[in-house]
Amino acid sequence: MDHARARAFAADWLAAWNAHDLDALLAHFADDVTFTSPVAAQLLGGDGVLRGKPALRDYWTEGLRRIPDLRFEVVATYVGVDALVINYRNQKGGLVNEVLIFDGERVIAGHGTYLGGDANPAGAQND
């Protein structure tokens, strides 16, 4: 992955999130994507591992339902061979890293990573 592609992806990703446009966001992901997130575990129960676009849609739909003012600001992007890390600030000011692994143009694996208490979204219970 080169830096121009990373910046373009991050701009599309940000625009889709801030518009709450899940169809535009999910268009970047492979049908058999695997995504992990401690927030998914809090919102949906289970181990926080989501398999496939339908599971990812369910997670993000629930997240937007619980956090209607969700908004992100990209702080930085980090580029790897087939990976992109988007470091962003959420609507609470918390810093988050989204680690995305690509196969060609599509994300095949992703990981939401959080600082301490920032993984506790509005309405979620602490475990």
HSE at residue 30, side-chain half, CA atoms within 13 A, is 16
CB 60 within 8 A of CB 13: no
**pLDDT at 57 (0 to 100):** 96
Which residue ranges form the domains of the chain, and what is each CATH number? 3-116 (3.10.450.50)
CB 64 within 8 A of CB 78: no
Better pLDDT: 121 or 112: 112
What does the pLDDT look like over 8-46, one tens digit per residue? Answer: 999 999 999 999 999 999 999 999 999 999 999 988 889
Q: Helices (DSSP H) in 20-118: which residue ranges?
A: 22-26, 38-44, 53-66
Whole-structure pTM value:
0.89
Which residue, among 32, 33, 36, 12, has the nearest Cα to 24 in the 3D structure? Answer: 12
- Tokens 């810093």 belong to 95
- How many Cβ atoms sit within 10 Å of the Cβ of residue 16? 18
What does the pLDDT look like over 94-120, one tens digit per residue? Answer: 999 999 999 999 999 999 998 876 555
**pLDDT at 35 (0 to 100):** 97
Residue 125 has pLDDT above 80, yes or no: no
